[in-house]
């Protein structure tokens, strides 16, 4: 089974205090807030995002393609 096949049914996990779910394109603004923060990205292997458009590109090129990221809500 391929990695993509393993994630075909990306589960949403809900507890009384936490929700883990698949990212959606609607999360671009939140992605920008997190990955645009220099302190958060200090030790990550990419530069902080500078615009919302960069966040949308990041979503499409990394998160949507790889489908292995959870949004923590």
Question: Partners of 22 in the beta sheet?
Answer: 70
Q: What is the pTM of this model?
A: 0.68
Residue 23, beta-bridge partner list = none
Where along the chain do its domains lie? 3-72
Q: How far apart are CA 18 and CA 58, in angstroms?
A: 25
pLDDT in tens, the chain (73 residues): 344 445 556 789 999 999 988 888 899 999 999 889 998 888 877 778 999 999 999 888 888 777 667 778 7
Write the class of the CATH domain 3-72: alpha beta
34 phi, psi to nearest 5 deg: -75, -55
């Amino acid at each position: 089974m391929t990695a993509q096949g393993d994630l075909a049914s990306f589960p949403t996990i809900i507890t009384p205090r936490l929700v883990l779910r698949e990212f959606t394109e609607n999360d671009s603004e939140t992605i920008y807030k997190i990955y645009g923060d220099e302190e958060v990205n200090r030790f990550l292997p990419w530069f902080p995002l500078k615009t919302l458009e960069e966040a949308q590109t990041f979503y499409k090129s990394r998160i949507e393609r790889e489908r292995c990221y959870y949004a923590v809500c």
